[in-house]
A and B are shown apart, each in its own frame.
Chain A
Amino acid sequence: MKNVPEKYIGDKSADTLRAAVENQAKWLYYLTVEGMERGLSGKFAEDAMRELGEYYADTEYLDCHTPKALAGKLMRRSMELGHEAEISVLGEEGFDLTIGYCPMVHMWSELTEDTERIRVLCGAACSMYEGIAGKKGMHVERTAAIAQGCGSCCLKFRKG
């Protein structure tokens, strides 16, 4: 799994935002693992993150009625600096969100060597985007993932 930051090295804002996202990842990790050790499948974490995405769609992204508007709002500084993210494709029908570095995968890799567990966690985390997209009349296809050994993540948001 290749997940090494290449931009904003030594940038205090990037480091601070990455640390905050890593802490989120630690909470998601232990809450998911505790649930799975008590007999649940990873679906409960996906459901949780999808519902969080739906909440964001109705609040933070309430006014985002077009792919362009949603893409712009999704690109918070924590995405740009912390995740080395960019909108690599943008059109009337949708956009591609590319992530070059994942602080969440970085944290999970510190906590476990179980790559299958990391894939479950990555799937749960990305369910948040499905929740956002679904409420906006779109869907998301994850065509590449750092957690699956790709050099970057690619989330394709498309209408319909």
Chain B
Amino acid sequence: MEIKNIPLVNDRLSKEVRFENEKRGMIYYQMVKHAAVAGLDKETFARAAVNRIGRDNSRDFGEYGTLPEFVYSFMNEGLISQFRPELKEMDDESARVDFHYCPMLGGLTNMTEDQEELELLCDCAMETDRGLTSAVGLGFELGRTIANGHDTCELCFKWKEKKA
């Protein structure tokens, strides 16, 4: 299935930031590749490392009492300019945010055309969101993805009642 991952915002600053974000994707690719060359299991290594990044990202999220508060915090200015997220649906129990472009995948596709590897590395990269949501006490499901040939990546957030 052909990957359609076309950047939609092309002002000077957005292009420069995209260059840096694609570079992040390429750093990720090379680090996983060389960890595997050195003997580590590619998927186990990538998921563990990236999940830690997501958990660390939770430091940037303040206190919130509802799912919409989290989602509006998640959809910050940096995310909007780079991933073109669209809030597809949201109530107090669940929310779905679709990404129309992924600069990380843009970097990965510079490194390999292997569809199976792209899908694996994309799913492992989403450990950032799994790590983040687990750290802040939310549920998370990944739906269709651009790496799998779809038009968008579907991120589904689920509210969990906080324990007293």
User: Which residues does A use to contact B, with CB under 8 Å?
Assistant: 13, 16-17, 19-21, 23-24, 26-28, 30-35, 38-40, 43-45, 47-49, 51-52, 55, 59, 76-78, 111
In B1-52, which residues have CB < 8 Å from any A CB? 12-13, 16-17, 19-21, 23-24, 26-28, 30-35, 37-40, 45, 48-50, 52
Q: Is B56's beta carbon under 8 Å from chain A?
A: yes
Given the complex of chains A and B, what is the CA–CA distance between A66 and B85 in angstroms?
Answer: 42
Residue of A nearest to B59 (CB): A110
Pick 14 A–B contacts, CB within 8 A, sort by A: A16-B13, A24-B23, A24-B27, A28-B31, A30-B50, A30-B56, A31-B28, A33-B49, A44-B38, A48-B34, A49-B30, A77-B12, A77-B16, A78-B19
Q: How big is the B interface, by class?
A: 20 to 34
User: Which residues does B use to contact A, with CB under 8 Å?
Assistant: 12-13, 16-17, 19-21, 23-24, 26-28, 30-35, 37-40, 45, 48-50, 52-53, 56, 78, 110-111
Given contacts A13-B13, A20-B17, contact A49 B27 (CB under 8 A): yes
Which secondary structure characterizes the binding site on chain B?
Answer: helix
Q: Which residues of A lie under 8 Å from residue B16 when comparing CB positions?
A: 13, 17, 76-78
